[in-house]
Amino acid sequence: MSSEVAARRDAKKLVRSSSGLRMVPEHRAFGSPFGLEEPQWVPDKECPRCMQCDTKFDFLTRKHHCRRCGRCFCDKCCSQKVPLRRMCFVDPVRQCAECALVSHKEAEFYDKQLKVLLSGATFLVTFGNSEKSETMVCRLSNNQRYLLLDGDSHYEIEIAHISTVQVLTEGFPPGEKDIHTYASLLGSQPGSEGGNARATGMSLQYTTPGADGVTQLKLTAGEDANASRRQSTAWLAAMHKAQTLDWMEAVNTPAISHTGRKEIQGDRLGLC
């Protein structure tokens, strides 16, 4: 991939919505799969009362819209301003208590685990049923859309085309349900009564446009106990954390049409 194409994929621009400044991809097709669209706001005429405490809105009790869910609340129920990285907001934005809790949890992923995924780690990589493996560096692309594998050869796997992901662990009883936590996969917290569930590898399946069936890929961390192994374990745990994000929310959140946005902006200018 040429540097010109890479730059085009990673290009961003600053835009202003009625909810605040957003740093979004210059080309929508290259948006992050972790991203969420801004929600369509509940029209003012449809919410005469706070949708949390049922307080009636009047001249003194103003209504506010949560930037994450789009519902109407009084100031008491929607007073928190929290970073909302999945919608690309530059500054913290107003959210209801329920949404603020979710956004706080996601902020940890963006501040910690995402940096680990972007930095990458070294693995033994095996495709399909091949008995041969290749040492490669695996990392998330800057626009978060691809897994990049670099060694003697180069592969790009689009995140949106990955159908299944399974973290492989050691010290975990066979058949135990996948209840790993980020801490347990790092080996710093027991994953079960049987002991630690430190991540040792990852198996994933993905589809390739124009090809039939799915391709299986296995990443295995090295056996040495040096910094490379620790980095690989941290990368696997971060990937597991990414998998726990609410993917269906990203898929099902409706985009705001141009006409709808124009109408909504009228409401926002009046009552924020």
Q: Is the pLDDT of residue 156 over 70?
A: yes
* Burial class of 237 by CB neighbour count within 10 A (0 to 12, 13 to 18, 19+): buried
Are the beta carbons of 54 and 48 closer than 8 angstroms? no
Per domain, the residue ranges of the chain are 3-115+255-271, 120-247
Q: What is the pLDDT of residue 189?
A: 41
Model confidence over 114-126: pLDDT tens digits? 999 999 999 999 9
Given a cut of 50, is residue 178 above it in pLDDT?
Answer: no
> 31-72, pLDDT tens digit by residue?
888 888 899 999 999 999 999 999 999 989 999 999 999 999
Q: What pTM was computed for the model?
A: 0.71
Mean pLDDT score of the chain: 79
Distances (CA, A) of 36 to 51, 60, 72, 81, 246: 22, 33, 19, 18, 10
Domain 3-115+255-271, classified CATH 3.30.40.10, yes or no: yes
Say yes or no: domain 120-247 is CATH 2.30.29.160: yes
